[in-house]
Amino acid sequence: MTTLIVMNGLAQQAITVPFSSSAWNTENAEFMQTTFQGKKGILLNRGVLYLEEVEFLNGVIEVDINFSDRRNFPGVRFRMEDLQNFENFYIRPHQSGNPDANQYNPVFNGTAGWQLYHGKNWSTPIAYTFGQWHHIKIVVSGNVADIYFDDMVKPLLSVDLLRDPASGSIGISTAIAPVFFANFKYTLENGEISYDKRKSNISPSTVTTWEVSQVLSDSSWLDQYTLNKNFKKSLNWQTHQSEFTGLINLARYGKRSPGRNTIIAKLEIDSRQQQLKKLDFGFSDRVRVYLNDQAIYEGEDRFRSRDYRFLGTMGFFDTLILPLNKGKNELLFVVTENFGGWAVQAKFDTMEDISLK
């Protein structure tokens, strides 16, 4: 069925899709039709329901949701290329009132980057009321989205969408605990967005161009503290730019699989003299750093690798003092992904007496 909604002063058609409709792709979901607290919908126990034939680029998605306080990550997916590539907003009922009570994150090649996109630009605190109906509305336009929760006047969260704009399907999901959904509707017309895309405010000494390898197996490099020539000859390089935040999401450029979950990010540093140079960096989840083929650092920040509260979120939390030779220097970050995000970022204290190629 269709209803009229008003955006930008114009009446536009919203398409309501009952959960009993055959338009839903249900093969990855476990659910049952139900009426709960006066609303007809579904109890989604796990998985994803999505409208495969919808080509959603810009517009509005709305749905009612009812959830308990159990640990869970229910939400709305949109611009779905497939089940491995999509934009995602979800809530964390078990973090009610905390800064990470919800989160936007993009998914590339099956890797969700929640460890990369954390903090005020990507999530916001809210205290949830459990066991009652709430309303979610997501307004999408170009590279930005406003996300509303109950309050349909002020967005709960405004985000920069990090996947390239492309039309795709839309749907709902839950991960661990059952959730009720009702009254799903959407429009394919542009909605009113509350803000412009954020401008980059990264330091001018932040690395913004990287050479990125193909996906590698662990066994190809783990025992090498000095890189051998045959291994280096096997590497294929492509040039990629970092995101406006300064990080480069390596999941954009390769799909991980068991035993093959490593990518190398390379910098070539031209130093005008022999010197020591400070470099702050961040990574997810594991890294070994080589300077001029010699291993100089190894670290691991996996989820819960230090204690049960350790999230493994990424930032400029580590520092290297690089002993640079005069002339060309090659710096390699061998980055292995486990769960929650696959990325690296780096910035020098200054660019004095160095340049990057």
More confident residue, 198 or 128: 128
Together in a domain, 155 and 259: no
Over the stretch 97-120, which tens digit does the pLDDT of each residue have? 999 999 999 999 999 999 999 998
CA distances from 316 to 73, 151, 345 (A): 27, 35, 7
CB–CB of 191/59 below 8 Å?
A: yes
Q: How far apart are CA 42 and CA 184, in angstroms?
A: 11
Taking residues 328-337, what's their average pLDDT?
Answer: 97
Which structural domain range is residue 29 located in?
A: 2-187
Q: How many CA atoms lie within 13 A of 22 on its CB side?
A: 0
pLDDT at 200 over 90: no
Residue holding tokens 């990470």?
Answer: 100
Neighbours of 311 (CB within 10 A): 14
Q: How far apart are CA 209 and CA 206, in angstroms?
A: 9
More confident residue, 25 or 198: 25
> Into how many domains does the chain fold?
2
Together in a domain, 329 and 274: yes
pLDDT at 6 over 70: no
Specify the pLDDT at position 223. Answer: 84
Specify the pLDDT at position 12. Answer: 66
Q: Is residue 309 part of a domain?
A: yes
Specify the pLDDT at position 353. Answer: 97
3-state secondary structure of 142: coil
Q: How far apart are CA 153 and CA 174, in angstroms?
A: 26
Give the global pTM. Answer: 0.92
Q: How far apart are CA 293 and CA 102, in angstroms?
A: 42
Q: How confident is the model at residue 123 (pLDDT cuts 50, 70, 90)?
A: very high
Taking residues 323-348, what's their average pLDDT?
Answer: 97
Structure tokens at 64: 């009612």
CA distances from 200 to 35, 72, 190, 303 (A): 47, 32, 25, 28
Residue 93, domain CATH: 2.60.120.560
CB–CB of 77/304 below 8 Å?
A: no
Together in a domain, 218 and 302: yes
The last residue of a domain, from among 153, 187, 221? 187
Residue 256, domain CATH: 2.60.120
Q: How far apart are CA 72 and CA 128, in angstroms?
A: 13
Residue type, 26: T
Taking residues 123-150, what's their average pLDDT?
Answer: 97
Taking residues 297-311, what's their average pLDDT?
Answer: 86
Over the stretch 127-137, which tens digit does the pLDDT of each residue have? 999 999 999 99
The last residue of a domain, from among 187, 220, 254? 187
pLDDT at 167 over 80: yes
Together in a domain, 114 and 164: yes
Specify the pLDDT at position 261. Answer: 94
pLDDT at 16 over 80: yes
Structure tokens at 236: 């294929």
Which residues are within 8 A (CB) of 218 and not within 5 positions of it... i.e. 6 or more apart? Answer: 259, 260, 261, 262, 336
Residue type, 356: L
Structure tokens at 118: 């954390």
Together in a domain, 164 and 253: no
Together in a domain, 131 and 277: no
Specify the pLDDT at position 221. Answer: 78
Q: How far apart are CA 194 and CA 322, in angstroms?
A: 44
List the end-to-end C-alpha distance of the chain, in Å, as a whole number. 57
Taking residues 311-322, what's their average pLDDT?
Answer: 94
Mean pLDDT of the chain: 93
CB–CB of 116/247 below 8 Å?
A: yes
Structure tokens at 38: 């006066």
